A and B are shown apart, each in its own frame.
Chain A
């Protein structure tokens, strides 16, 4: 399940007040989440959670749920 913390970082980067982000939500379903914004979302998440992602880890992400799992793994949750 997507944490409200990750959701807020993503929505803030996309300049959205609210959007129903679910585990299975993919980037093309979210207004503004294109490939260029994706780079900035990743950087914002890295800065917020003080973690670093490797490019190859990011290539494996298919949906927001995968992103949450990656963040959790970095935070060793």
Chain B
């Protein structure tokens, strides 16, 4: 079947697009809600709209108004999808947040949610009853910006539709303009420093067209994904694009996938899925952490593309994946890469579907000096994997520290401009001003362009990316500075390469006055527990004596300098474990 000719102008809003799809393909599966070991729940395009209408009526009855933000904190549930659509129908903005891990300390969860509520302007929390004791004190607190907490999974949506309210909601829906905001997503996942990005209907619809076009989506396509929907990669690529195109999404529970990664392969096999999306670490997990016996009957020959994004792309991870799964029918041309960020809705570049990903072997030392030089016999080689070329109505450039264009082959900061660009961080003009200039978004990522392909090789910012999740070192350092045995203000957190898992792990350097091995082990355990309280696993702890950490010009310990010092040199003063 031929590719879709997606026309964003056909509908002014996403709700209208979803309604159009329910009329065009009423009996086609929109969502195949996957639960391991059970028959999947199939929700057709007609079903999802009908149930969404029921939810939208309840939302209106609860007093939620157009433009207000509804944060949803709900685990893998078949009613999540129509709820999300129902919120959109009323003109309110869904913001999908992660369900808290049990290790996260209740106070830290509340602090994070409170900070997010103030910064992002969350008006309502739509969640499960289990979180009521955690969240209610926040709402009852004087000055709270959160108006109420609701439990939509308990709402009775089985009865007849109240046509009076339904008409009122529909009237509201018809008045929504394409330039109106449709959702709020966060550019990173940790609790203290999220940057809220509001996107309009037009931005999403244009992105659906441009990224969907780059993916060459056809009516034969079916997406299988385990990505959480609080992550932009999951929400936009796996959820919004298929829903707007009118193709099915097989949605797997992220918590189940990480415990039993074979579920994704089973879903692809049973549903003959053609598209999937995963951060780099998933390629290592799928390649190396599944027993051969479990792969009996797996057939990946339906796959047209699995797209790697959300963390640095590693050549070795792709090699491992092909080595393991070629014999299960996975085509080598079905590996793909994407580079992007929430600020441009999601994608900026994509490799060409159906073609091998361009890779180049470069001289590692020259690259660290900012020059891409093809490797020769004397080189220490680094294989760079292309993230592709700009998708439609999106442009990229590589710039120097003064934001001036630099030539191909030189390493600089990646800047992006797109028709699907955000309008700035919500309630955060000073942060917006730092990163946006003349309609260009300056990403803080380092890369180079070569023969029209973009290669992303590092980051200006100190952000740590573990399994596709962005973590700010400041969040970790804040809690480490309160740890018993650590000198306050004298810690740094950074990411180290996790070769086994194809991602990064979190390391902490802390100054301490304790001297014995026993005392140092106690301090280490305190550091590990402090990390747990904010749902961060600290993998490696380095303890150093007072005044060991190198300061930056601002007077604070320098992450970059201290990371290099601790990794490159053997220092007898450093205790690590």
Contacts and interface: CB of A to CB of B under 8 A. Distances in A.
Given A32-B539, A39-B285, A58 B532 contact: no
B259 interface: yes
A15 B537 CA distance: 13
Interface in B287-324: 289-291, 293-294
B262 A55 contact: yes
Contacts of B260: 55-56, 58-59
A4 interface: no
Contact of B37 (A15, A37, A59): A59
B36 A59 contact: yes
A54 B102 CA distance: 25
B103 A56 contact: no
Interface residues of B, number: 34
What's the dominant secondary structure at chain A's contact region? helix
Contacts of B36: 55-56, 59
Given A26-B102, A55-B294, A32 B528 contact: yes
A32 B263 contact: no
Contacts of A38: 258-259
B28 interface: no
Interface in B519-539: 521, 525, 528-529, 531-532, 537-539
B291 A52 contact: yes
Contacts of B501: 36
B63 to A, nearest CB: 36
A29 interface: yes
A15 B577 contact: yes
A20 interface: no
Contacts of A5: none
A25 to B, nearest CB: 12
Interface in A6-36: 15, 17, 26, 28-29, 31-32, 34-36
A32 B537 contact: yes
Contacts, number: 63
B572 interface: no
Contacts of A15: 577
Nearest to B263: A55
A39 B101 CA distance: 17
A59 B258 contact: no
Nearest to B530: A31
A2 interface: no
A43 interface: yes
B131 to A, nearest CB: 16
A17 B153 CA distance: 44
B467 interface: yes
B259 A55 contact: yes
A39 B262 CA distance: 12
A72 B226 CA distance: 31
A58 B255 CA distance: 12
B114 to A, nearest CB: 22
Most buried by A among B263, B291, B503: B291
B256 interface: yes
A7 B212 CA distance: 49
Contacts of A34: 103, 537
B281 interface: yes
Contact of B281 (A36, A37, A54, A59): A36
B103 A28 contact: yes
B75 to A, nearest CB: 14
Nearest to A29: B103
A52 B102 contact: no
B532 A35 contact: no
Nearest to B257: A35
Contacts of B521: 17
Given A35-B258, A35-B259, A59-B36, A54 B289 contact: no
Interface of B: 36-37, 101-103, 255-256, 258-263, 281, 285, 289-291, 293-294, 466-467, 501, 503, 521, 525, 528-529, 531-532, 537-539, 577
Q: Which 3 A-B pairs have the closest CB atoms?
A: A55-B260, A28-B103, A31-B528
Interface of A: 15, 17, 26, 28-29, 31-32, 34-40, 43, 46, 52, 54-56, 58-59
Given A29-B102, A36-B537, 20 more contacts: A17-B521, A26-B102, A28-B101, A32-B537, A32-B538, A32-B539, A34-B103, A35-B255, A36-B258, A36-B466, A38-B258, A46-B291, A52-B291, A52-B293, A54-B294, A55-B259, A55-B290, A55-B294, A56-B37, A59-B259
20 contacts: A31-B525, A31-B532, A32-B537, A34-B537, A35-B255, A36-B258, A36-B285, A36-B537, A39-B261, A39-B289, A46-B291, A55-B260, A55-B262, A55-B294, A56-B36, A56-B37, A56-B260, A59-B36, A59-B37, A59-B256
